[in-house]
Amino acid sequence: MVSPSDRTRLGIERLDGLGARAALGKLARQIQLVPLVATSLPVEPNPKTAEYARRHGVVLLRAADIDRILDWVNTKRTYATLLSYLEQLKEE
């Protein structure tokens, strides 16, 4: 995690909510931002981590989820399929 003072020092801007939409301009109406955290661990994350992610709309991708998405890429699944899957994971 980057502290607010480090964000300023490093020139990192947080792209969430209206800030992201404003920064992206016209492109913001054509895309959907989905915050993701990926892990190579095959097990469920710590319950506190999972709850934090759920409260903040962050999708946690485990190794099996990443493998499934890679299979979809290889079989040319649609972007809508991916977004639907990410929404499902967000609610878990």
How many domains would you assign to the chain? 2
Q: For position 11, what pLDDT does the model report?
A: 44
Does 38 lie in the same domain as 25? no
DSSP for 53-85, written as a single string: HHHTTPEEE-HHHHHHHHHHHHTT--HHHHHHH
Does 39 lie in the same domain as 51? yes
37's enclosing H/E stretch is strand 36-38
pTM of the full structure? 0.60
Tens-place pLDDT, residues 22-60: 777 787 777 777 888 888 877 888 889 888 888 888 898
Reply yes or no on whether the pLDDT at 3 is more than 50.
yes
- Could you give the CA distance from residue 64 to residue 21 in angstroms, rounded to a whole number? 31
Reply yes or no on whether the pLDDT at 10 is more than 80.
no
Domain boundaries, position 58: 34-92
Reply yes or no on whether the pLDDT at 83 is more than 60.
yes
Does 39 lie in the same domain as 23? no
